[in-house]
Amino acid sequence: MQMKNYLIDTFNFNDITNKKLVEKIKQLNNKNESVKLFSHLINCQYKWLARIKKDPDYEKMSWWEPVYDIDKLEEEWNKSLRIWIDYITAHTDEELATEATFIGYDGSLWAATPKDIALQLNYHSIHHRAQIQMLIRRQGMEPDFVDYIGTKYRRLDG
């Protein structure tokens, strides 16, 4: 499997599970912390791609703001996901493995490959999804089953 296909598959997995999460967040009495964490995932996708593409405003972008309205979470998630899928689709495995440079948190010049940044975004999504799942459970609700294998396995008997 090509790396770009793996990255797209991983983004698609996170898309399915994160959309389940948004529906569960909508049911919470206290949504604030969950919405903040989910907004952070969206903002990370926007900021990292802006870094790669050398958007002149990427240094001003926040990892944590804006915090999106609950009714806009899925729409913003879709936008942030679409730009990554489009970016990956438009590049070869070799291009995705070529380092991009950016100004980091400390003002220094840093480098990372788009492939590794895409992997980071997906793993980071899993991390924060787990945190949100805990917040859901703490509010007395049962979180959805969002394990990767749940999107792959199938029952063979009736």
For residue range 65-123, list pLDDT tens digits in order. 999 999 999 999 999 999 999 999 999 999 999 999 999 989 999 999 999 999 999 99
For residue range 24-69, list pLDDT tens digits in order. 999 999 999 999 999 999 999 999 999 999 999 999 999 999 999 9
Q: How do the residues of the chain divide into helix, strand and coil, expressed in percent and rounded to 5?
A: 65, 5, 30
Domain ranges in the chain are 3-151
Give pLDDT, residue 73.
97
**Domain 3-151 classification at class level:** mainly alpha
d(CA 38, CA 20): 12
Give pLDDT, residue 91.
97
Residue pair 19/146 in contact by the 8 Å Cβ criterion: no
Higher-confidence residue of 46 and 145: namely 46
Alpha-helical segments (H) within the chain: 3-26, 32-52, 73-89, 93-96, 114-138
Indicate whether 1 pLDDT > 70: no
Cis peptide upstream of residue 114 (ω within 30 degrees of 0): no
